[in-house]
Structure 1
Amino acid sequence: MATYISKNLISGEEIVLTAKNHWLNFFSKDWLAYCLSSNEYVITNKRIVVKEGIISRRIVEINLSKIESVTVNQGVFGRLLGCGSFTIIGSGGTRETFRNIDNPVKIKRAFQELVS
Structure 2
Amino acid sequence: MSYVENNLMSDEKILFKATIHWIIYLFGAVLILVGMVLPIAEELKIIICLIGVYSLVKAFIFAKTTELVVTSKRVIAKFGLIRRNTVELNHAQVESLMVDQSVIDRLVNAGTILIQGTGGSRTPIPQIVRPLEFRKEYFSIIENDKD
- TM-score w.r.t. length of structure 2: 0.72
Q: Provide structure 2 residue ranges, at least 5 long, that are not aligned to the other structure.
A: 28-54
Summarize the alignment of residues 33-48 of structure 1 with structure 2, pairs less than 5 Å apart: 33-34=61-62, 37-48=64-75
- Displacement of 1:55: 1.4
Pick the structure with greater CA Rg.
2
The reply on whether 1:106 has 2:105 as its aligned counterpart is no
- Return the offset for 1:101: 1.1
**Percent identity among equivalent residues?**
32
Match of 1:59 among 83, 86, 105: 86
Residue aligned with 1:92, SS? coil
Q: Which amino acid aligns with 2:20?
A: N
Larger proportion of strand: 1
Structure with greater proportional helix content: 2
Task: Describe the superposition over 1:47-104 as per-residue Cα deviations: whole angstroms up to 9, x where unpaired.
Answer: 1111111111111111111111101011221111010001111112121111111111
Gaps of 5+ in 1: none
Q: How far did 1:32 drift?
A: 3.3
Residue 79 (1) aligns with residue 118 (2): no
Aligned to 1:3: 2
* CA distance in 1 between partners of 2:20 and 2:74 (Å): 19
Structure 1 residue 31 and structure 2 residue 59: aligned? yes
**Corresponding residue SS for 1:51:** strand
Shift of 1:27: 3.6
- Length, aligned pairs only: 114
User: CA contact under 8 A between 2:62 and 2:79: conserved in structure 1?
Assistant: no
**What value does the CA root-mean-square deviation take over the aligned residues?**
1.5
